[in-house]
Structure 1
Amino acid sequence: MKTDAAGPASWLDQVHCEDALQGLSRIPDGSIDLILTDPPYNLGKDYGNASDQQSVEEYLAWTERWIDAALPKLKANGSLYIFLTWRFSPEIFVMLKKRMTMMNEIIWDRRVPSMGGSVRSFSSVHDTIGFFVRRKDYYFDLDAVRIPYDAATKKARSRSIFVGAKWLEMGYNPKDLWSVSRLHKEHSERVDHPTQKPLEIIERMIKASCPPDGVVLDLFMGSGTTAVAARRSGRHFVGFELNAEYCRVTAERLAALAHGVVPEPKPKTKAASKVKARKADTTETILE
């Protein structure tokens, strides 16, 4: 059990249904290994509150406030990942560069089909992710997130000089372009949240940048994917979420995980899937 000066850390492994700017005061400074967060993009989406419907000036000022409140909680060798839209990533990256060292701009290719989208500009099909660290000896476990080579590649590298090569056996380093499908309604992971992120992406960040038994902080927990990914990966978590319904969804996902319950994809026909995909993609590519 993680402890703090007052004894067992009651704030740990909890999603607190409150504003992060209020609740962060209960988390001791220097206690977090990884901040991994997906804040509102200010695109006007409905999260049950007005957090995604601010003026540009209000949004950037609010972002700076929560960044300054959250960073003291991070350990000296800790890291931060932040999901952003291209519309505001330049300004927010500058904020963070004044406080941390930027290691990567990661592009998440959401695998949006070519149909639909804007007719007055190039359709946006990606999210931007910033990876920042506090100092040079930051924690990073590349071996935990290597991508295995396929059988054909291994066979092609059959010469004696490659036998036993670590890079061939363990796989290659993920690049800064991550092609992972966004979650359609038919995905088994999908819950009722408009911007839910795939476990595959979140688990990669946690395994790479948070040590086993370490602590991940998510200031905008949403559907609880960071909490689920942390628990699946043998890490602790703490998070905040304003919407009580999303807090309930997170609790249900964690309870299902504790009981070994894995949701199955909804049954569907190929024809129905194509129709749903066309409708979803035409709508969802308009804003992002």
Structure 2
Amino acid sequence: MSGWVDQVFCEDALQGMARIPDGSIDLILTDPPYNLGKDYGNASDQQSVEAYLAWTEQWIDAVLPKLKPNGSLYIFLTWRFAPEIFVMLKKRMAMMNEIIWDRRVPSMGGSVRSFSSVHDTIGFFVNRKDYYFDLDAVRIPYDAETKKARSRSIFIGAKWLEVGYNPKDVWSVSRLHREHPERADHPTQKPVEIIERMVKASCPVGGVVLDPFMGSGTTAIAARQAGRHFTGFELNPAYCDIIQERLAAPEVPVAGKAAKKRRSAAKSALADEETV
């Protein structure tokens, strides 16, 4: 895998995808341009509807052959184009979830002619029924009050009470405000917390995550911190510099000793793999 793994290539994904061998990727995780007119240093987010959907179908057909038979794909989308793109993907894969990311936008301002949009849509797709999925890696612990309420003998030894519950399909995680310690100079940067959940659930330790649109590099950061490999592309040279700076910096802070312990174990497993 040398030469393309743990690398972010500063080039157009469609031109560089030949670098990635077919059937080599465990997880495709991507946040492509939404075509809402944002400035990414190029015109990638400023296409006509027809051109945007045609381009989307083109890159989807380029990346899917890179996925392993038991691999998965997560894609961030806006509600404006999610229906059309979900249909594209349903023709090629099985859809497992539509996840709603509640960005926790403050209740202020917004449109006066429609309801304020405060979420992103995430599609979770798989190739076949035996896809890799590690629920235990992303369970959410029950709080002390809930455990106490379930302290009757009937619940003693119940695995679900000890390991936590399955994250629902609405993820309430704050967007990265300007003063957030994770924040880089990128207009649509996603929190590591969200990306890391996908990586841990849908890519085995030592596996490879592909992101065709790296942006600020959050997929690479999350993959490395979780003990996975990464590869991907970014068209804007300024964002490529941000990615390298983030990869060279200390890891993003995590909450709690348990999370730190899990990351340490994942890194050790990856190090053992690399010495074999």
Runs (5+) with no aligned partner, structure 1: 4-8, 264-288
Listed one character per residue, the Cα deviations across residues 235-260 of structure 1 (whole Å, up to 9, x for unaligned) are: 00001000111111110111113xx5
Q: Which amino acid aligns with 2:225?
A: R
- Native 8 Å contact 2:30 2:213 kept in 1: yes
Q: Distance in 2 between matches of 1:202 and 1:104?
A: 16
Deviation at 1:262, TM superposition (A): 5.5
Q: Which amino acid aligns with 2:222?
A: A
Aligned to 2:127: 134
CA contact (8 A) 2:78 2:121 kept: yes
In structure 1, distance between residues paired with 2:163 and 2:239: 37
Measure how far apart 1:81 and its partner are.
0.1
Per-residue Cα deviation, 1:40-93 (whole angstroms, up to 9, x for no partner): 000000000000000000000000000000000000000000000000000000
Match of 2:57 among 64, 76, 79: 64
Q: Work out which of the residue numbers 19, 25, 28 in structure 2 matches 1:32.
A: 25
Kindly state the Cα deviation for residue 164 of structure 1 after the two structures are TM-superposed.
1.9
The one-letter amino acid paired with 1:250 is I
Aligned to 1:243: 236
Identity, in percent, stands at 84
Superposed counterparts of 1:1-20, under 5 Å: 3=1, 9-20=2-13
Between the aligned partners of 1:159 and 1:97, the Cα distance in structure 2 is 45
Contact between 2:142 and 2:165, CA under 8 Å: does it hold in 1? yes
Aligned to 1:125: 118
User: Using the alignment, how far apart are the partners of 1:26 and 1:227 within structure 2?
Assistant: 17
- Structure 1 distance, partners of 2:112, 2:155, is 50
Distance 1:26 1:112 in 2: 39
What corresponds to 1:267 in structure 2?
A: none
Amino acid at match of 1:239: G
Q: Name the CA shift for 1:88/1:77 in 2 (closer, same or farther; >3 Å).
A: same
- Write the letter of the residue equivalent to 1:61: A
Query: 8 Å contact 1:256–1:262 — kept in the other structure?
Result: no
Letter of the 1:168 counterpart: L
- Corresponding residue for residue 267 of structure 2: none
Q: Secondary structure at the match of 2:249?
A: helix
Aligned equivalent of 1:182: 175
Per the alignment, residue 83 of structure 2 pairs with 90
Contact 2:182 2:252 in 1 (8 A): no
TM-score by length of 2: 0.91
Q: 1:122 to 1:251 in 2, by over 3 A?
A: same
Aligned residues of 2:99 and 2:124 also touching (Cα < 8 A): yes
CA distance in 2, matches of 1:52, 1:261: 28
Tell me which residue corresponds to 1:276: none
- Runs of 4+ in structure 1 deviating by more than 4 angstroms, as ranges, are 260-263
* Paired residue type of 2:35: N
The one-letter amino acid paired with 1:183 is L
| CA-CA distance at 1:261 after TM superposition | 7.7
